[in-house]
Structure 1
Amino acid sequence: MSAGANRRQVTGFSNPTVKFIRSLREKKHRKREGKFLAEGLRLLTDARECGHVPEILVMAEGRDPHPLVDALVDAVDAKGGEIIETSGDILAKITGKDNPQAVAGVFAEFDTSLESLDRSKARIWLVAQALRDPGNLGTMLRTGDAVGAGGLILLDDCADPFSVEAVRASMGAVFTQRVVQARWEEFVPWLREGEGQLVAASLREAVPYRGAPYAAPCFVMVGNESQGLPEAYETECDLRVTMPMRGRADSLNAAVAAAVLAYEVLDSLEG
């Protein structure tokens, strides 16, 4: 196939491809199609550099030339994907942003099965139970990338990791981190089949988080933003740690707590 063979211009809001891409902003359509939407040159460049190339690349007409855009176009062409040029207004309609970035892409969702995860690939893994805020989910993915974690395991009914909001909040980490979705009753037997220390912040028979006996692979778990972890989940943990609260607040934001713990684990395992 020659370069540019899959390129076309779209000028109407009612175009079927525009409607399809826009529909990916809703979870039911993402699940049905097995696709998700990502936007912005930096994010799509991170995806390309990690080996993820969009099936459909949408670009605004009249954009300034940029070598990273050219690299994306070449990568999509090489994979036989589709490249669409359209107006800024239509791109805004697709992304839902008044000031959309110059590019957006449609990607195939990843394998999120627990069975596909290789715990030996990293010394730290993040785990979130019933996390509801896509911003927190994206932040945890960024934290995982920053500490060299293998990925994020989402337990029970969490926010969709492939929502536009979560993907945006991840700042590209959705492409560098493994994302797994499972139920608690699936996760525990899987964890106990091999090596793995389950750690959570808790007040139940907890030790100070600094200097605690962390061991790799370490699975750092946080709970729901308002309810925290169920008691049975905390009881199952191999290690429960506590972080000091010096002011009136009685807890940290879930994603912040995960970051604090993850860096302490990193320091401990590298020490």
Structure 2
Amino acid sequence: MSARTVTSLANPTVKAVRALHLRKERDETGLFVAEGLKNVTEGVELGHAPRILLYGRDTDHPLLKKAIAATLAARGEVIEVTHDILAKVSRRDNPQAVVGVFAQTFRPLVEVKPGSAACVVALHRVRDPGNLGTIVRTADAAGCGGVILVGECCDPYSVEAVRATMGSIFAVPLTRASEAEFAAWRRRWPGSVVGALLTATVDHRAAGYRKPAMVLMGNEQQGLPPEMAGLCDVAVKIPMRGRADSLNLSVATGIMIYAATG
């Protein structure tokens, strides 16, 4: 198998890649789109070969050649396409020159090992894909052992979320669990389970964190509901010194991650 050229927007493979903007299609296929040579290279270097690799006609880079070789070695499709196709696939006027389609990966909850890292992040019903992707990127930067999605969360493999991870989608193990599954599993967690709560009185910098710590954060609108807050053995607040009375979820989670791992 070798690279081929496609110029038609009606090509079945092009249409299939475009369809991955829909969650239904991602759920049914188990695939997702990663845009840009940097993101595709991150996937390849971490052992994730693209199932499909699209690249622009004028694109020439040593890392692209490496991605092409990895795709072909895994018996994936490599396709040279026009700018118009890249724009349609990305739904952007100024698309990236390289687009990869990869298999989604979720780690079972029972395989999350407390001793593998100083911190794990758990998110309850997070709604915004940009926030989720940024949190995955921050978890990667801080060396966290994974991100657990509890309850009905937005899709970490949506195009928006993947863009926000800047390649960290391939580096951070993701896990999905229901509230009941998470609550039962949490009982065996040996370190602190830390939540940021409006009712807390302890400053996040002054709390005692037993490692491995788990940072548990609620969603953008409601925070942690009582049943999830009850799973925390350390409740903290992030002080607000200006007129703003709250922080963006990804910013607050980043602060908590570094407090728990510091």
Cα distance, 1:189 vs structure 2: 0.8
Q: What residue in structure 2 maps to residue 138 of structure 1?
A: 133
Cα distance, 1:81 vs structure 2: 1.4
Aligned length: 262
Q: Matched residues in 2 for 1:212 and 1:15: separation?
A: 57
Does the residue aligned with 2:55 lie in a helix, a strand or coil? strand
Residue 197, structure 1, aligned to residue 209, structure 2: no
Correspondences of 1:1-271 after superposition (within 5 Å): 5-63=1-59, 65-267=60-262
Q: Matched residues in 1 for 2:176 and 2:101: separation?
A: 21
**Cα shift readout 1:209-240 (whole Å, capped 9, x = no counterpart):** 11311011111011110111102211221100
Cα distance, 1:205 vs structure 2: 4.6
**Cα shift readout 1:50-86 (whole Å, capped 9, x = no counterpart):** 11111111111122x2111111111112222110111
Does the residue aligned with 2:244 lie in a helix, a strand or coil? coil
Q: Matched residues in 2 for 1:200 and 1:145: separation?
A: 20
Q: Matched residues in 2 for 1:141 and 1:17: separation?
A: 29
Q: Percent identity?
A: 45
**Cα shift readout 1:185-215 (whole Å, capped 9, x = no counterpart):** 1101112134242101113354111131101
- Tell me the C-alpha RMSD between the 2 structures: 1.3
Q: Matched residues in 1 for 2:138 and 2:261: separation?
A: 12
Q: Matched residues in 2 for 1:196 and 1:183: separation?
A: 21
Q: Matched residues in 2 for 1:186 and 1:240: separation?
A: 22
Kindly provide the amino acid, as one letter, of the partner of residue 254 in structure 2.
A
C-alpha distance 240-73 of structure 1, shift in aligned 2 (>3 A):
same
Q: Matched residues in 2 for 1:45 and 1:152: separation?
A: 22
Kindly provide the amino acid, as one letter, of the partner of residue 133 in structure 1.
D
Does the residue aligned with 1:240 lie in a helix, a strand or coil? strand
- Judge conservation of contact 1:155–1:183 (CA < 8 Å) in 2: yes
- Judge conservation of contact 2:195–2:235 (CA < 8 Å) in 1: yes
Q: Matched residues in 1 for 2:220 and 2:106: separation?
A: 26
Does the residue aligned with 1:111 lie in a helix, a strand or coil? coil
Kindly provide the amino acid, as one letter, of the partner of residue 226 in structure 1.
Q
Kindly provide the amino acid, as one letter, of the partner of residue 195 in structure 1.
P
- Judge conservation of contact 2:119–2:213 (CA < 8 Å) in 1: yes
Runs of 4+ more than 6 Å apart: none
Structure 1 length-normalised TM: 0.93
Gaps spanning 5+ residues in structure 2: where?
Answer: none
Structure 2 length-normalised TM: 0.96
